[in-house]
Amino acid sequence: MNNGKIIGKNSEILFLYDARMCNPNGDPDDENKPRMDYSRSINLVSDVRLKRYIRDFLADYKNKVIFISKVKDKTVSATGRLKSLILANKQEIEGNNDLSDLIKSNGEPDDKNLPKHLPWLLSKLIDVRFFGATMPLKAEEGKGASITFTGPVQFNWGYSLNKVTGPLDSSTITSTFAGAKEEYGSMGKEYRLAYSLIAFHGIISATRAKYTHLTENDVDLLDDAVINAIPLEATSRSKIGQYPLLYIRVEYSSPEFFIGDFRQYVTITDPSANEIPFDKTIKLRSPKDYQLDLSKLSKKLNDNKNNLLKVYFWKNSELSINNWDISYEEF
């Protein structure tokens, strides 16, 4: 079972990473070009892209079972995924009388009884505890139904804090394949951004956590995953070049309080701490070109200090910040 106490307090997250000469999130409806708000020259990254990095990290590096995934590298239905989960835990199930009805007499999985065992199911699927899911669970033989879990961990779409030109002119890429009698070639295009400083805002809802059984141990693992997932998972040709820069998680003293999107309190300044106008941020190419001023965020947190319980903080050594005067626990 999932060990740890279910969380009873809300948290909010600020997560920044950068993308250097790569494609942070291709848009399949636009030739897989980087997602853009062209009217403002802002790079966009979907929350689904970030969650995928987190899921893959948990599976690849923490040996966690993921519901939204493939089984043996094959795409399966949600029902198939649940049946494979039962089979993967067959020995545990057969040794527990309370779970024995998940296995039929012929040894096949019996998913129609899963609604009676939701705590066990949630204990096996960390991404459902985080992000929720819709699961097709048969309440009675022959009747289809589904249960929807709304995840306590949610992120807005990410966007660049700097003005981005792009995508850069595409490069033509070619591939050659050996056929039975001759070689075959294919051509395509790739699109990259010179530099994007991407910021995400996230929340962890204690109210939602009660339904997915999200624990304090899970939140510790989420911190680890957000900080470490991207450099370990963004390793394809178009994705390599992305690095985490800043992670702040603010834990509140109750389940009834949020401040709101932290990104509005972050200012980009030059190395001399002078604010860089948004139109000038187009020249950024690495963290050496700027600092982050966190004075507005510090003030906002201090103004609400009666609602704060703890602040957790991590910063990449490449990044320079100033005016951060909040007491914190460092990762």
Q: What is the pLDDT of residue 143?
A: 60
**CA distances in angstroms from 203 to 76, 198, 206, 251, 263, listed in the order given:** 30, 17, 10, 10, 13
pLDDT tens, 277-296? Answer: 999 999 999 999 999 999 99
| pTM passes above 0.95 | no
Lowest pLDDT segment from 15-29, 73-87, 195-209, 305-319: 73-87
Lowest pLDDT segment from 34-48, 107-121, 301-315: 107-121
Look up residue 78 and give its two tokens.
């949600």
pLDDT at residue 172 greater than cutoff 70: no
- pLDDT tier, 189 (very low <50, low <70, confident <90, very high otherwise): confident
**Which comes out higher in pLDDT, residue 216 or 176?**
216
- Give the span between the Cα atoms of 328 and 120, in whole angstroms: 35
Lowest pLDDT segment from 56-65, 164-173, 249-258: 164-173
pLDDT at residue 235 greater than cutoff 90: yes
- Give the neighbor-by-neighbor strand order of the sheet with 267-269: 267-269, 291-293, 321-322
What value does the mean pLDDT take over residues 214-236? 98
Q: What is the pLDDT of residue 80?
A: 85
